[in-house]
Amino acid sequence: MVAAALVLLAGCGGEESPGSGSAAAPSTAPGVGEVTTAPDGVQEITLQTQDDYVFLPDSFTVDPGTVRLTVVNVAEEMTHNLEFDDGEGPEPIDAGISLLAPGEQKTIEFTVTVPGDHPFTCTFHTQLGQVGTMTVRGR
């Protein structure tokens, strides 16, 4: 019985041969998840979504100040969004992306001043675990 289960599991996890018609999982674009400082002094970060229920990365850390957050949806089918959770972080963040269709990317800019964890979510997929956290460092 155990041997049969192992054979079934191995069959599910095997690699597909080239040209088998299945789409490869999207790879993470260079620079995704890295917080950098733009020439204008604004902290920049890019997150990625795809045909699943995760943000890549699902957490990042910034300093107090202005943040320019770009979300790239490399999905072929799934629509996403990004909203900061009202009342869950140490300060309100009114910026968000209400709709991000497959193949789209959008950028928001906002200022944070209070250290701590600022949770965010794809409200379409919160119950499926598409959540993340932006941490603002203390001074």
- Give the per-residue pLDDT at 7: 35
pTM above 0.85, yes or no: no
- Amino acid found at 75: A
- Give the per-residue pLDDT at 31: 81
Ordered by where they begin, the domains of the chain are 31-136 (2.60.40.420)
- Give the per-residue pLDDT at 86: 87
CA–CA dist 11, 9 (Å, integer): 5
Q: How does pLDDT run across 3-43, given as a tens digit for each residue? A: 443 333 333 333 333 343 444 455 677 789 999 999 999 99
60, 65, 66, 72 alpha-carbon torsion, rounded to 10°: 0
Strand (E) or helix (H) holding 66: strand 65-73
Regions of the chain short of the pLDDT cut 70: 1-27
- Give the per-residue pLDDT at 26: 56
